[in-house]
Amino acid sequence: SLCAAGEPNLSYQELKDLKKANVLHIDVRERWEIDRFGKIPESINIPLGELMEALQMEPTEFKEQYNQKMPSKSDPVVFSCLAGTRSKQALGFAMSLGFS
């Protein structure tokens, strides 16, 4: 399941369409889940337990750690996980840090 503030539940096709518009896709599953079930193309993996810290990093540190430009607080971001529970938590974390 995928979560975005404007649209709490997205289909895979909706995500594919959003990715064409430069949306950052953060997969909050654990690394072992990525290894076992596969990586979603063009997503970055930041396990939920690391997300709060990651979203508060300096942009250069974020880029080094995740090989991706750090999103600004107004950039469109989509979170995903296996069932939707962690992506909803991730959305709450991001919004509590001022992401819109």
Active site members:
81
**DSSP strand E in 1-100: where?**
2-3, 24-27, 44-45, 77-80
31 — phi, psi (to 5°)?
-60, -35
CB 26 within 8 A of CB 90: yes
